[in-house]
Amino acid sequence: MSQRFTGYAVRLQHQENHVTMARKRLAMELGMGTDLQGQDYTKAAVRALKDALWHNSLTIAPALGYPREAMEVDVEIGVAQPNKVDKAVVAAVLPYGRAQVSVVLGGLDIPNEDGTKVTVIANAAAVVYLDIQEAN
Amino acid sequence: MPLKRIILEMGTGNDLYGEDYTKACKRAVQDALHHSSLTLFRSLGLERDAMVVDVTVAVQQPDQVDIEEIAAQIPFGTVNVKAVFGGLNVVDDEAGTVSVIASAGVAAKLDLPDGPFVLPKTL
């Protein structure tokens, strides 16, 4: 008898603690970065992401009652030579939260007068997601 | 429920030759606004107009800023604008020109409950 009651109580508690979460898109931050002389696409991408992130102070997560470390950030970079971007270096820019970096063909390369070098422009978007608790 | 800041957006703007402090501030506010997009209103089912937006602009002559025009830059919510001393004026003595640089801080606040936010059932 007591065994059955214990089991019932445990199951009830489990149901109470069972929370479902939904991944929600909270904000998007935009930036632009360059590498003027070095034709370094990673450097331009890093600067673009820093421009995006440090134009804003995002306090959405703590305001909603979630730790800022719970944020998931999708970083999208656009440059003219996507294969030359070191994604790990770009991801390391984020001070907290989980980063997912994707690089696509975009940005802008501007050649110099004699066509020997290019100035690199990178575009960056950081899209911030958070798992939000759903009402039962 | 307490009013909580969800974002602080920052920007800068200038008026290079017109010495128009309002124009420099408007550009600073636009720069602040367009480096981010708050998508949580749609995704969490919150009202955009429930937002309180505190705008602070800083220039060397804050009394010359048209507060109404700055407030009109904010598309949603209840807007408060304050102009304070700051920014930077760059004087070219040779040409006799003054370039006006403005800084802007745009803080968006929302009434949110304490503890974890829970999505309403309808979403």
Whether B36 is in a domain gets the answer yes
State yes or no: pLDDT of B118 exceeds 80: yes
For chain A, what is the mean pLDDT?
A: 89
CATH number of residue B91's parent domain: 3.30.1330.20
Do the domain assignments include residue B122? no
Backbone torsion region of residue B77, taken as left when φ is above 0, otherwise alpha when ψ lies between -120 and 50, otherwise beta: left
A30 touches chain B (CB under 8 A): yes
Residue that has been written with the tokens 């128009």 in this structure? B20
Residue B7 covered by a domain = yes
Kind and range of the H or E element at A62? helix A60-63
Partner-chain contact B119 A52, CB within 8 Å: no
Q: Is residue B9 part of a domain?
A: yes
- Asked if the C-beta of A26 comes within 8 angstroms of chain B's C-beta atoms, the answer is yes
Pair A124, A31: CB distance under 8 Å: yes
Q: Domains in chain B: how many in total? A: 1
Chain B interface includes A22 (CB < 8 A)? yes
Check if the beta carbon of residue A126 is closer than 8 Å to that of residue A53: yes
pLDDT value at residue A14: 46
B106 assigned to some structural domain: yes
A contact test, residue of B31, B56, B118, B123 with most A CBs within 10 A? B118
Tell me, what's the pLDDT at B121? Answer: 76
Question: pLDDT per residue over B48-85, tens digit each?
Answer: 999 999 999 999 999 999 999 999 999 999 999 999 99
Q: Report yes or no: B70 at the A interface, CB cutoff 8 Å.
A: no
Round to whole Å and give the CA distance between A11 and A129.
32
* pLDDT value at residue A99: 95
Mean pLDDT of chain B: 95
Range A20-133 classified under CATH 3.30.56.10:
no
**For residues A96-114, average pLDDT:** 96
* Mean pLDDT to the nearest integer, A45-63: 96
Collect all residues with Cβ–Cβ distance below 8 Å to A133 and sequence separation of at least 6: A19, A20, A21, B116, B117, B118, B119
> Is it the case that residue A7 has pLDDT exceeding 60?
no
Domain that includes residue B9, residue range: 3-111
Nearest Cβ partner for B118 among A29, A31, A134: A134
**Residue B98 falls within a domain, yes or no?**
yes
Percentage of chain B beyond pLDDT 90 is 91
> What's this model's pTM, rounded to 2 decimal places?
0.87
Q: Is B46 part of any domain?
A: yes
CB A44 within 8 A of CB A79: yes
User: Hey, is the C-beta of A98 within 8 angstroms of any chain B C-beta?
Assistant: no
Considering the domain boundaries, does residue B117 fall inside one?
no
For residue A29, what is the nearest residue in chain B, using CA coordinates? B36
Give the model's pLDDT for residue A19: 80
